[in-house]
Structure 1
Amino acid sequence: MFLSQLFQGEPILEAVAQNETRINKQLNNEFAPVNTLQRALLVWDPDSLPRFGADGDYGDETASAVTRFKQDVLVVPADELIADVGPRTVWRLDEISYGAQDHPQTPFVPKVIVKLRDESAAQIPYEDNAQEFLPPEDRTAWDMAAGAFPDLSLTLNRALPGVDPEAVRQWLSENEAAHGTPSQQLLSFYVIPLPADSSEQVASAVDALPFVEHAYVEQEVIPASVTADDPLIVGQGYLGAAPFGVDGLHTWALPFTDGSQVRFVDVEWGWQLTHEDLIDTNGVNRVGILPTGTVSTDSALVNHGTNTLGIVMATDNEKGILGLAPNVKASVAPVETPAGTDAVAAALAVVGTIPGIGAGSVVLIEQQDAQHLPIETDLFIRLAIQELTRKRITVIEPAGNGLGAGNDLDTFVAPGHLFDSGRIFDRNDTTGAFFESGAVMVAAATSQHPHQRMRFPVAQPQASNHGNRIDCYAWGENILTTASLLDPVSNQPYRTNFGGTSGAAAIVAGVAVVLQNIRRSVQGDFLAPEQLRALLSDRSHNTGPAPADDGRIGVMPNLAELEQAVRTL
Structure 2
Amino acid sequence: MPAPSSPVEIVVVAQNSEAPIGHADLTASRSAETRIIELASPGATVTRSFGPANRLGDRVRGTSLESSGSALLNYFSITGFEGNADEIAAALAADDAVASAFVKPPAEPPIAPPVEGAVAERAPGTGDAPPSTPDFTGSQGYLDAAPNGVDARWAWTRPGGRGAGIQIVDVEGAWRFTHEDLLQNQGGVISGPESADIGWRNHGTAVIGEFSGDDNGLGITGIAPDANVRAVSIFGSGGSAAAIRTAADALGAGDVILIELHRPGPRFNFAGRSDQLGYIAVEWWPDDFAAIQYAIGRGVIVVEAGGNGAENLDDGLYDTPAAGFPGSWANPFRGGTADSGAIIVGAGAPPSGNFGSPRSRLDFSNYGSRIDAQGWGREVVTTGYGDLQGGPNEDLWYTQQFSGTSSASPIVVGAVAAYQGINAAGSGRKTPSDVRNRLRTTGSGQTDGPNGPASQRIGSLPDLRALAGVIKVKDIKDAKAEKLEKVEIKEGKELKQEK
The TM tier, using the shorter chain, reads 0.7 to 0.9
* Map of 1:318 onto structure 2: 217
Residue 237 (structure 1) aligned with residue 141 (structure 2): yes
Tell me the SS of whatever aligns to 2:105.
coil
Residue 477 (structure 1) aligned with residue 378 (structure 2): yes
* Map of 1:364 onto structure 2: 258
Query: Shift in Å at residue 160 of structure 1?
Result: 4.0
Tell me the SS of whatever aligns to 2:215.
coil
Structure 2 residue corresponding to 1:350, chosen from 238, 246, 266: 246
From the superposition, tell whether residues 122 and 343 of structure 1 become closer, same or farther in structure 2 (CA, over 3 Å): same
Query: Shift in Å at residue 259 of structure 1?
Result: 0.8
Query: Shift in Å at residue 445 of structure 1?
Result: 1.1
* Map of 1:545 onto structure 2: 447
Residue 535 (structure 1) aligned with residue 429 (structure 2): no
Query: Shift in Å at residue 419 of structure 1?
Result: 5.3
Give the conservation status (yes or no) of the 8 Å contact 1:481–1:498.
Answer: yes
Residue 382 (structure 1) aligned with residue 282 (structure 2): no
Q: Report the Cα distance in structure 2 between the residues aligned to 1:241 and 1:227, rounded to whole angstroms.
A: 29
Question: Counterparts in 2 of 1:165-176, with a 5 A limit?
Answer: 165-176=53-64
Query: Shift in Å at residue 474 of structure 1?
Result: 1.2
Question: Counterparts in 2 of 1:123-138, with a 5 A limit?
Answer: 123-124=27-28, 126=30, 130-131=34-35
Structure 2 residue corresponding to 1:253, chosen from 157, 170, 182: 157
AA partner of residue 344 (structure 1): S
* Map of 2:464 onto structure 1: 559
Residue 200 (structure 1) aligned with residue 86 (structure 2): yes
* Map of 1:157 onto structure 2: 46
Give the conservation status (yes or no) of the 8 Å contact 1:377–1:418.
Answer: no
Query: Shift in Å at residue 169 of structure 1?
Result: 2.7
Query: Shift in Å at residue 212 of structure 1?
Result: 2.2
Q: Report the Cα distance in structure 1 between the residues aligned to 2:288 and 2:447, rounded to whole angstroms.
A: 30
Query: Shift in Å at residue 551 of structure 1?
Result: 5.3
Tell me the SS of whatever aligns to 1:258.
coil
AA partner of residue 406 (structure 1): E
Tell me the SS of whatever aligns to 1:288.
strand
Query: Shift in Å at residue 268 of structure 1?
Result: 1.0
From the superposition, tell whether residues 318 and 180 of structure 1 become closer, same or farther in structure 2 (CA, over 3 Å): same
* Map of 1:115 onto structure 2: 13
* Map of 1:279 onto structure 2: 183
Give the conservation status (yes or no) of the 8 Å contact 2:16–2:70.
Answer: no
Deviations 1:508-530 (A, max 9, x none): 0000001110001011x210100
AA partner of residue 287 (structure 1): Q
Deviations 1:458-479 (A, max 9, x none): xxxxx11111111011110000
Query: Shift in Å at residue 255 of structure 1?
Result: 3.0
Q: Report the Cα distance in structure 2 between the residues aligned to 1:490 and 1:201, rounded to whole angstroms.
A: 43
Deviations 1:327-369 (A, max 9, x none): 111111122118xxx7211112222333xx1111011010011
* Map of 2:195 onto structure 1: 296
Give the conservation status (yes or no) of the 8 Å contact 1:408–1:467.
Answer: yes
From the superposition, tell whether residues 378 and 244 of structure 1 become closer, same or farther in structure 2 (CA, over 3 Å): same
From the superposition, tell whether residues 117 and 350 of structure 1 become closer, same or farther in structure 2 (CA, over 3 Å): same
Query: Shift in Å at residue 298 of structure 1?
Result: 1.3
List runs of 5+ in structure 2 lacking aligned partners.
Answer: 18-23, 122-135, 266-278, 352-356, 472-499
* Map of 1:38 onto structure 2: none
From the superposition, tell whether residues 197 and 545 of structure 1 become closer, same or farther in structure 2 (CA, over 3 Å): farther
Query: Shift in Å at residue 379 of structure 1?
Result: 1.1
Deviations 1:147-197 (A, max 9, x none): xx9xx4597833349x44443331122324xx7742363332223456444
From the superposition, tell whether residues 194 and 264 of structure 1 become closer, same or farther in structure 2 (CA, over 3 Å): closer
AA partner of residue 240 (structure 2): V
Q: Report the Cα distance in structure 2 between the residues aligned to 1:353 and 1:443, rounded to whole angstroms.
A: 27
Residue 398 (structure 1) aligned with residue 287 (structure 2): no
From the superposition, tell whether residues 132 and 213 of structure 1 become closer, same or farther in structure 2 (CA, over 3 Å): closer
Residue 453 (structure 1) aligned with residue 357 (structure 2): no
From the superposition, tell whether residues 382 and 422 of structure 1 become closer, same or farther in structure 2 (CA, over 3 Å): closer
Give the conservation status (yes or no) of the 8 Å contact 2:359–2:460.
Answer: no
Q: Report the Cα distance in structure 2 between the residues aligned to 1:240 and 1:228, rounded to whole angstroms.
A: 26
Q: Report the Cα distance in structure 2 between the residues aligned to 1:158 and 1:384, rounded to whole angstroms.
A: 14
From the superposition, tell whether residues 451 and 132 of structure 1 become closer, same or farther in structure 2 (CA, over 3 Å): closer
Query: Shift in Å at residue 267 of structure 1?
Result: 0.9
Give the conservation status (yes or no) of the 8 Å contact 1:156–1:190.
Answer: no
AA partner of residue 446 (structure 1): A
TM-score of the superposed pair, with normalisation by structure 2: 0.76
- Residue range with higher mean Cα deviation, 466-475 or 115-124: 115-124
Q: Report the Cα distance in structure 2 between the residues aligned to 1:192 and 1:236, rounded to whole angstroms.
A: 42
Tell me the SS of whatever aligns to 1:543.
coil
Q: Report the Cα distance in structure 2 between the residues aligned to 1:194 and 1:491, rounded to whole angstroms.
A: 33
Q: Report the Cα distance in structure 1 between the residues aligned to 2:379 and 2:240, rounded to whole angstroms.
A: 28
Deviations 1:19-65 (A, max 9, x none): xxxxxxxxxxxxxxxxxxxxxxxxxxxxxxxxxxxxxxxxxxxxxxx
Q: Report the Cα distance in structure 2 between the residues aligned to 1:505 and 1:390, rounded to whole angstroms.
A: 21
Tell me the SS of whatever aligns to 2:27.
coil
From the superposition, tell whether residues 254 and 329 of structure 1 become closer, same or farther in structure 2 (CA, over 3 Å): same
Structure 2 residue corresponding to 1:500, chosen from 394, 404, 429: 404
From the superposition, tell whether residues 114 and 552 of structure 1 become closer, same or farther in structure 2 (CA, over 3 Å): same
- Residue range with higher mean Cα deviation, 314-323 or 478-487: 478-487
Q: Report the Cα distance in structure 1 between the residues aligned to 2:322 and 2:256, rounded to whole angstroms.
A: 30
TM-score of the superposed pair, with normalisation by structure 1: 0.67
Deviations 1:407-465 (A, max 9, x none): 4444323325235466431248xxxxx6211100000011134422112xxxxxxx111
Q: Report the Cα distance in structure 1 between the residues aligned to 2:436 and 2:33, rounded to whole angstroms.
A: 41
Residue 440 (structure 1) aligned with residue 343 (structure 2): yes
Q: Report the Cα distance in structure 1 between the residues aligned to 2:139 and 2:32, rounded to whole angstroms.
A: 51
Q: Report the Cα distance in structure 1 between the residues aligned to 2:82 and 2:247, rounded to whole angstroms.
A: 31
Give the conservation status (yes or no) of the 8 Å contact 1:473–1:504.
Answer: yes
AA partner of residue 113 (structure 1): V
Q: Report the Cα distance in structure 2 between the residues aligned to 1:418 and 1:313, rounded to whole angstroms.
A: 38
* Map of 1:104 onto structure 2: 4
Tell me the SS of whatever aligns to 2:338.
coil
Q: Aligned-residue CA RMSD in angstroms?
A: 3.0
Tell me the SS of whatever aligns to 1:397.
strand
* Map of 2:414 onto structure 1: 510
AA partner of residue 189 (structure 1): Y
Structure 2 residue corresponding to 1:465, chosen from 347, 363, 366: 366
- Residue range with higher mean Cα deviation, 468-477 or 194-203: 194-203
From the superposition, tell whether residues 266 and 111 of structure 1 become closer, same or farther in structure 2 (CA, over 3 Å): closer
Tell me the SS of whatever aligns to 2:418.
helix
- Residue range with higher mean Cα deviation, 464-473 or 201-210: 201-210
Give the conservation status (yes or no) of the 8 Å contact 2:234–2:240.
Answer: yes
AA partner of residue 219 (structure 2): G
Give the conservation status (yes or no) of the 8 Å contact 2:172–2:260.
Answer: yes
From the superposition, tell whether residues 287 and 273 of structure 1 become closer, same or farther in structure 2 (CA, over 3 Å): same
Q: Report the Cα distance in structure 2 between the residues aligned to 1:290 and 1:187, rounded to whole angstroms.
A: 26
